[in-house]
Structure 1
Amino acid sequence: MSATTEAGAAAPMLLRDDHANGVTVLTLNRPASRNSLSLQMLETLENALAAIAEDASVRCVVLAAAGPVFSAGHDLREINAHRADLDHGRGFYDRAMETCARVMQAITALPQPVVAAVQGVATAAGCQLVATCDLAVASDQARFCTPGVDIGLFCSTPAVALARAVPRKVAMEMLMLGDMVGAEEALRIGLVNRVVAPDQLMTVALELAGRIAARSALTVRMGKRGFYRQVDLPLADAYREAACVMADNLMAHDAVEGIGAFLAKRRPTWQDR
C-alpha cells in the first residue's frame, strides 16, 4: 500500500492498495474534512490517476473513501479563505475548477474502468465524482445531492457529470432543489449500479472490479474509450465510430482467442493484445 500525505498533515490524504488480481483501490483519506476536494486533494488524485494510466498491471480501479462521508465536494473553508486574496479569490477559483475538471476527465479517459464504492454522503463535487465513475456501488446508507443552490453557488460543474449519468429532468431537479437522494432512489435513476448493506460494500465493489479485471484488458480499454467517444454523438456518427471500434477490436489477438475459445467450448487465455 502506498500513500500521499497532505502538507502539514499527519495522515496520508490518499491511499493506494494494489491487489494481486489487477484491482487497485484508491481511498480518499481526509475523514476529518469530510473527504472534501481541496486543491491538493484534487492534484494528488490527478497524479495518482496519471500513474495508474501508465501501469499495465492495473486492470480496474475502485475509488473509495474513509470515514462516514464519501466526499462533501469542494473545501468551502479553503474557498472562503481565498476571499482575502488580492483578486478576491478569482485566480484560485479558476485553478481549482480547472483542476477538478481535469480530474473528472482523467477518470473518463483512464484506460482502466473505475468503480466508485460509496459508503456515505456524496454532495456537490463529491456527487460529481460518483457520477463520473464508470460504475458505482453504494451502501444503503449512502445519499447524494447537489446542494450548491442552498448557499448561492449553483453546482454547474457537478451538473456536467450528473446530466450525463441521469435523465435531464432528474438532474435539473437535483440541481434546482438540492434535496438529498437516497441510495435506492439513486439506483432507480441510474446514478449507481448496486445498493448493498454497508458491511458488503467493499466486498461487492471488489468482486465487481475483479470480474472486470478478469477480462481482456485490451478489450475493456477499447470498449471504454469507444463508449465515451460515441455516447454524445449524433446517431449516424455514433454508429460510424462504434463500427470502427468493433472492426479494430476484431483484428486484435484477444478477439481471435475469445471467439475461438467460445466456438471450441474452452476458457480463453487473454494476452491483452
Structure 2
Amino acid sequence: MTKRVLSVLCGIVAFSSAFAQTKNLIGVASFKSSGRTEYVTAIQDVVYDATLKVRGFSLLEKDKLNQVRAGVGQEGQDASALAQAQSLGAQYIVTGNVLKANVETKPSDLPLGITNTTTAELLFDIAIVDVSSGEEVATTRFNAAGKGKHAFDDAMKELTPGIDKFIRENLKNPVSIAQVEEKNAAGEAIRVLIVAGSLAGLKEHDEFRVYEITDLTVDGKKMHRKRTLGKIAVAKVEDENFSVCLVKEGGAAIAKKVEANAKIKCEIITE
C-alpha cells in the first residue's frame, strides 16, 4: 500500500452538505477486489461494524458509501474530493484491498473413503486515511484460513478481534483543552475544560492522554511529534460539547503549555 492512497472520494461530492454533523465522520470506502462480491462485502461489513464501536465519531451512511471508491495503491489524489470530504466533517476514510477471498470445495481422501471438504483462504489489507492530509495513518494486512462447513465464517471470526483492535487503536479523535479551570497553590493545573462532551460519547472517569504537537523536519520531510504532558480523567460531562476533567498527571506541564498557547491535544485512552 502506498503512502498516498486517496483517489478515494470522487463520489463523496454527491453528498448533501446537510449531512455534515458536529461529530467527526468516518467513511468506509468500497474495498478493491476481483473476488466474489459476497465475500468482499462480508469482509467490509466486519470493518464497518468495527468502526461503529469507536466513540466520538459517526459513520457515513452505507447507501451513500456506495458512491465512494477506494483506489488503494493508486498514485495521486483528488484534491477537490478531499476538500469536499473535509467540508462534510469527514476526518478519516477506511479503505481496503481484498487480495484473496477463496472458498473452495474439493474431494478429500479419508480412511473411510472420499468426501468433499470446504476450505477458505483470506488475505486483505486495511488502511486508515487522514482526509486532511490524504496520507495513511495506519495500514495492516490480515490473513486466515478456515476448513469445514463454515470455513469462511470461521476464518472471519478468527480475524474479527484483530480488526476491532486495529480500528480502535488507529481511529483517534483528538480534542482540545479550552481552558484551565483550577490550579493549586503551586500553579499546577488540577481541573481543565475539554472540548468534548456527550456528543462524543464521553462518560465520567474516561481517561485522556494529554500531549503537545510539535512540527519537525527530518530528511526534508515534515513530521508531527506527540510529546506526552500528562493524563486527565472526566469528572463531569457538562453538555454535548464540554467536559470538566481532573488532572491525574502532569499538572505543571499542562498549565504551562496551555497558558503559552502551545498546540495541545487530548486523546482518549479508555476502551
TM-score (norm 2): 0.27
From the two aligned structures, give the one with the greater strand fraction. Answer: 2
**Structure of higher CA gyration radius:** 2
TM-score (norm 1): 0.27
From the two aligned structures, give the one with the greater helix fraction. Answer: 1
